[in-house]
Structure 1
């Protein structure tokens, strides 16, 4: 088994050969809102700071090695050497850090230790938080792998420890711990495990965003040594002896009292011909229950989804550890396909950006429910603690469309269930399902954050996106390549949800996979049933948009940090696209009168929208209808293309459901939103781009990266390329010190503008190119080729455009102009 493990670890380390971008923070162990550990000094050596929780709070995770024939200690991750004293015989030196490499699931840190007699030792520490689009079972497991591979002809000892800061943010909290050996399924090998938890758990409670209930599990193979105790003593013993002492400190105490750590050590004898060795650890954080949810049955303590497949935590950990090869294979398949697609769609920079984004998106989620009715809960993170925020799911949804549309349906499920149950009193869509995660208790008083047009438009657009993901005639046309893996699931029974996971499948020798998502007649039937089930809600939300979206009253959009504003041009566009989305939902279920009704209204509204929303000289969209001289990023244009509305009236138009009914009364034009809107906005973004990207609008220099990628996806290739270069430059140079922020300045040091957003799932919007590439049976991007003809004619108007851009840039200082004659 050890030889096999060494080969698997070696394969893992070869997944990524190079990373172009050097972000300030890298993901290490990122699985859900509470198992979220990051390397906060990613441009420096990894032993200069402790790893951190996404808030910046230190997490006790340390690795170091000792070379026996010199007795020298080399720290690798964290700062365990701080407590080692030369007076007690500890000799500390530092390895040559060779850098980091990452893909969508893995972060590798590589070191070289130069020794006398021209000998050297190379060490790679690999953190794997696998993203497995075809296996929700594996994705639901709240655990990550840490492997250490050593190469050289020198004996070496490896040390790793964790501390109580994994289970509480309060250093005064008392914790308890225990050590045991778990039998793996073959009954021949053991798994050694530390368990750590608060002595008094606080169910569904957080302190500084850290969960105050649940158990940390730190496990390694049977041949590792173990020890718990005061950090100074445990680490000192390893520094002196090259191993920990198989000793358990049973004096339970507070996290900050003689800092208790929980350690493993492993010795490699490499002076023989066998010059490589590896060891695999796993870190898990289990909670049961995971959230409190106001379901249609009433307030419910929701269990983790993994509990349905693994009746005990021990069985979960044993499966997870033995499943390393399968999890790694599925994760590698995803990372490699993502890298290939991103390179074709963007460039090397884009490959790294989406790789950095993937774990962060999934790190905001927690799988719950049962295999019959799975649910995916989401925490907003940093901008707020809200649960299941619709306008946070919306910017993230390109990631889910590309990766697993099934998971998008699971995200929408608790929202639809809650509003179908009648617990929400307003006629528009709810903003979120709870003020602070993990308390998903809804808003029965209707006093959630006021974004009525925003949320109605969002959920209608995403609803149609789910439907479109189910409806494809052949596998090559699926919105996600992983949707086609497996065979169609059996038709759900009355006791199941529409998308159950109770019959898992085996493919390519790997069991526990979901099966095919949609496609063919099965996909058509599921789409119809899913829309029909909630049709009263879809029409209710659309009715609100018919009444209030064309000229939105004073309210918030998703960019609520920018404040309230009436007559927002971009917000109105979202609402109008939402009405058109409803026409398509009606078509799916055969309600053709509704189809024509909503289609005609949307076309009437979009013509009026252009009249109200474009500048006087017709060169760009205004921030608000009555704010002359302003401009804005029309990122909601992305939904028009993603839902294939831009193909209306073209040879590429997709009509997957033919019918003989009355047609909408509008005149057929090329595209729902006219092509010239796309053209004008694309050119405008070129001229208002700053050092680190395109500002959100004319009020400030800050940008939102999720919306930048929405806007880039529907701009010309040249404009996309230059904005992408600006974003990549920002990644390399920003002074932000938290996981990938979606809100930053486009000038200066590219820092936080206040508020400070970080680790948010909204950067799933970075997948906008990839989702669009596969939309409309692969025709969506082809329908935007007209944008690439613009560059040939651009020089004719360059002086005019430059003058317009200068005027636009002058507004970025925050000075409002109520009129500007040239614009």
Structure 2
């Protein structure tokens, strides 16, 4: 290559890079996210910042449990903590049962009001060994607790007063818990469950902790099942904080595949980007279990500065519970230096459920071996050594993994850390353990994945910048800046709630985990709201959301004439585990989405492959969909109810979708029959649901209303089954029912579902009306006091969630973009 050509190529690259950088500034997302995505690989490896500043709190798993990730930049000997908080090392005053056995007096009959006081007589109470729980449901429980409520009094003795010391109560509870120290309430969870929740005691309670006898008392109310209760008391070790000085965060900017931070660290500027190259057209990239922490350090004064980067992770990343035994390792391979951790037990696919972290496979951090030093061991020791410029000596005693890089900067310096997870086996599918998609042929290794990620970094970063700009600009055009902000935040959240594998029959499986709900895998009524994102970017992934349900029925494992709800509890996909069926809901979802796939692909071959079961489901809807009997819909938190007008809409739209699929396949007689039937049912619906200036929640109750979000598919897919005035009548009525933070789901409660608001808004005829529905949702996310990955189930009259977090259904936010794409075809 001649010199002039080299110069030209460099110039082109710089212009492109600077152009994208300028676009990033122009497209800055000003949303103060409820939580900021950092590492987003799958439901197991999903880490977030729950605070405004990256250094205000520990990095956390989507469940809220700490996934410690500590970042420090030392500049000319001064350390600036820019990421995470140091894990405070505690000394036990009264250990929890998971660390050491303890016993206490307890009763399941409500005692007198002073039961928590030190001088209360518990002479008539029983004595039991902790933890307390329903032993048939919780094997770890030592004392069987079958009644709804339990009161526990735990005496402990001190050798000295604790006044002036930081003291914490730590407890695991299912469900509601209240904890007292010497009669003073120190924790009250309200209606909630939690594992290893830690609360710092107020000074008034600490003052009572004196030499001699003290009482730690706890109350727990098990509302449904699986009761469990354990609690203990702890104080901080001395001198356990090595990096008290934080950097100054200047900005944070969430885009679809990246989260960008800027910090001042004394005389230098630090830019940090968390990059997940989740480009949905490339399934190998979607599956590659490696993310980047990229950084740039710039001198602010033009002088040369000696800089040291310290990045520390914890064994928590590979454990369900932080006290599980783990292994630590460090090695070099393929030009990269690695630190690695995993559980000692390695029970592959050994746990299923919702509020769990993975404890099989291995977590890795890696970086260029020529520039990086590694260490493992005790966090306090490693941090002290780094702070004092001493050698970082490794040991197998401790729970921390460390990478450090040293360099000088007078202008600018850039590098990266790679973080990833090898789960070895990802999913059990009807009895067979499946490798992750990236190793579907068993011809790869985690090192090969890291090496590819390392070599392709520059290319992938440019691709991510380009993708982020394109997504932002498209969302801006169709829905405005607030809509663009929400879709940018939703992108990684939705993707990270899935796992990509290949079935033994070569089906692509894009399996969701029903996060923060019940942990179901491949849930159809989670697929339905999630689908717009995958229909828009890659219909093969949309098929991956449906394939397991088709297989479940076609293999005769599922024998009912309607679609199943799920195929198990994550990560075990061995058959439905949800307790109740949703026959109209799930059948309608499957048929509608199959037609949406056909429209995106401009052919119905996928429907042809599954025609027999689609026909069975559609005929079920013809028979049962006009006026659904008492059953659940996707909004199952609202409970069972009959005559659901919106559920009837779904059935009718699905019947029409089946008719249009038949038309695409040349089955004209079938098409005419089912489209005519859908129109007939829609005419009946209009009469049954009419209630003056709007349409009812249920056919049998006047004076009620609900969002008819299922109508959006009649509009988007251009089927025109329902009279067009129905949608506009509803939209105008909804505008009179909005609260500060959004449109309620229906007249019964003030809560709503944000994904359904997006669908309802998309039925509006113009962007201004669309934005009237979107702005309150944006304001909720910007102002909510619940710091966690976006909730889709929120209250509309106050900035708190009703439930749910980190769920895939925010993929439904992309329905407005999908509408434009389908209409352009």
Q: 1:113 aligns with which of 247, 262, 265?
A: 265
2:83 equivalent in structure 1: 77
**8 Å CA contact retained: 1:9, 1:147:** no
1:123 equivalent in structure 2: 270
- Distance in 2, matches of 1:282 and 1:453, equals 46
SS in 2 for 1:629: coil
How does 1:220-231 map onto structure 2 within 5 Å?
220-222=367-369, 223-231=371-379
1:276 equivalent in structure 2: 412
Say if 2:192 is the partner of 1:58.
no
**8 Å CA contact retained: 1:453, 1:545:** yes
Cα distance, 1:106 vs structure 2 = 0.4
1:453 equivalent in structure 2: 584
Cα distance, 1:198 vs structure 2 = 0.5
1:144 equivalent in structure 2: 291
How does 1:305-454 map onto structure 2 within 5 Å?
305-308=437-440, 310-369=443-502, 373-434=507-568, 436-443=569-576, 448-454=579-585
- Distance in 1, matches of 2:610 and 2:242, equals 67
Instruction: Give the 3 Å change call, closer, same or farther, for CA 89–328 of structure 1 in structure 2.
Output: closer
Cα distance, 1:178 vs structure 2 = 1.4
2:718 equivalent in structure 1: 644
Cα distance, 1:402 vs structure 2 = 1.6
Cα distance, 1:620 vs structure 2 = 0.9
Cα distance, 1:217 vs structure 2 = 1.2
- Distance in 1, matches of 2:710 and 2:396, equals 58
Cα distance, 1:87 vs structure 2 = 7.1
1:808 equivalent in structure 2: none
SS in 2 for 1:211: coil
Cα distance, 1:66 vs structure 2 = 1.2
Deviates more, 1:387-396 or 1:306-315: 306-315
- Distance in 2, matches of 1:673 and 1:531, equals 24
1:709 equivalent in structure 2: 758
Say if 2:806 is the partner of 1:763.
no
Q: 1:201 aligns with which of 326, 342, 346?
A: 346
In proportion to residue count, which structure has more strand?
2
**8 Å CA contact retained: 1:29, 1:127:** yes
Deviations 1:348-379 (A, max 9, x none): 11111000000011011111117954322211
**8 Å CA contact retained: 1:27, 1:107:** yes
1:24 equivalent in structure 2: 34
Q: 1:181 aligns with which of 332, 355, 368?
A: 332
1:104 equivalent in structure 2: 256
- Distance in 1, matches of 2:243 and 2:673, equals 79
**8 Å CA contact retained: 1:206, 1:212:** no
**8 Å CA contact retained: 1:357, 1:763:** yes
- Distance in 1, matches of 2:745 and 2:453, equals 43
Cα distance, 1:414 vs structure 2 = 1.6
SS in 1 for 2:320: coil
**8 Å CA contact retained: 2:497, 2:515:** yes
Deviates more, 1:201-210 or 1:347-356: 201-210
**8 Å CA contact retained: 1:20, 1:348:** no
Cα distance, 1:326 vs structure 2 = 2.8
Q: 1:36 aligns with which of 41, 46, 51?
A: 46
Q: 2:429 aligns with which of 272, 293, 317?
A: 293
How does 1:664-743 map onto structure 2 within 5 Å?
671-717=720-766, 718-743=768-793
2:387 equivalent in structure 1: 239
Q: 2:312 aligns with which of 156, 161, 184?
A: 161
Deviates more, 1:93-102 or 1:602-611: 93-102
2:435 equivalent in structure 1: 303
**8 Å CA contact retained: 2:521, 2:567:** yes
**8 Å CA contact retained: 2:319, 2:343:** yes
Structure 1: state its 5+ residue gaps. 115-119, 184-189, 252-258, 472-523, 646-670, 779-823
Instruction: Give the 3 Å change call, closer, same or farther, for CA 419–456 of structure 1 in structure 2.
Output: same
Instruction: Give the 3 Å change call, closer, same or farther, for CA 81–731 of structure 1 in structure 2.
Output: same
Deviations 1:136-184 (A, max 9, x none): 111111221111210003222110011110011212211112111111x
SS in 2 for 1:125: strand
**8 Å CA contact retained: 1:193, 1:219:** yes
SS in 2 for 1:600: helix
Say if 2:57 is the partner of 1:49.
yes
Deviates more, 1:137-146 or 1:354-363: 137-146
- Distance in 2, matches of 1:215 and 1:91, equals 28
**8 Å CA contact retained: 1:685, 1:719:** no
**8 Å CA contact retained: 1:342, 1:351:** yes
1:622 equivalent in structure 2: 696
How many residue pairs match? The answer is 655
2:177 equivalent in structure 1: none
Cα distance, 1:730 vs structure 2 = 1.1
- Distance in 1, matches of 2:699 and 2:571, equals 39
Instruction: Give the 3 Å change call, closer, same or farther, for CA 565–91 of structure 1 in structure 2.
Output: closer
2:102 equivalent in structure 1: none
Say if 2:604 is the partner of 1:598.
no
Deviations 1:427-449 (A, max 9, x none): 00111111x10010113xx9752
2:614 equivalent in structure 1: 538
**8 Å CA contact retained: 1:367, 1:374:** yes
Cα RMSD after superposing both structures: 2.3
SS in 1 for 2:673: helix
Structure 2: state its 5+ residue gaps. 1-9, 90-235
How does 1:488-527 map onto structure 2 within 5 Å?
524=603, 527=604
Cα distance, 1:590 vs structure 2 = 1.9
Instruction: Give the 3 Å change call, closer, same or farther, for CA 403–737 of structure 1 in structure 2.
Output: same
Instruction: Give the 3 Å change call, closer, same or farther, for CA 195–88 of structure 1 in structure 2.
Output: closer
- Distance in 1, matches of 2:445 and 2:706, equals 53
- Distance in 1, matches of 2:347 and 2:84, equals 28
Deviations 1:706-749 (A, max 9, x none): 0000000001333212121111111211112210000111112x
- Distance in 1, matches of 2:321 and 2:237, equals 28
In proportion to residue count, which structure has more helix?
1
Deviations 1:304-349 (A, max 9, x none): 1101465222212211221212322332232111111111011111
- Distance in 2, matches of 1:194 and 1:206, equals 27
Cα distance, 1:698 vs structure 2 = 0.2
- Distance in 2, matches of 1:277 and 1:372, equals 45
- Distance in 2, matches of 1:244 and 1:142, equals 31
2:210 equivalent in structure 1: none
Deviates more, 1:321-330 or 1:51-60: 321-330
- Distance in 2, matches of 1:390 and 1:287, equals 25
**8 Å CA contact retained: 1:133, 1:334:** no
Deviates more, 1:131-140 or 1:452-461: 131-140
SS in 2 for 1:228: strand
SS in 2 for 1:32: coil
- Distance in 2, matches of 1:123 and 1:314, equals 29
Instruction: Give the 3 Å change call, closer, same or farther, for CA 673–636 of structure 1 in structure 2.
Output: same
Deviations 1:402-439 (A, max 9, x none): 222221012211221221111101100111111x1001
Cα distance, 1:91 vs structure 2 = 7.2
**8 Å CA contact retained: 2:56, 2:84:** yes
- Distance in 1, matches of 2:284 and 2:462, equals 15
Instruction: Give the 3 Å change call, closer, same or farther, for CA 13–240 of structure 1 in structure 2.
Output: farther
SS in 2 for 1:624: coil
1:265 equivalent in structure 2: 404
**8 Å CA contact retained: 1:583, 1:596:** yes
Deviations 1:608-636 (A, max 9, x none): 00100121x2x111110011101100100
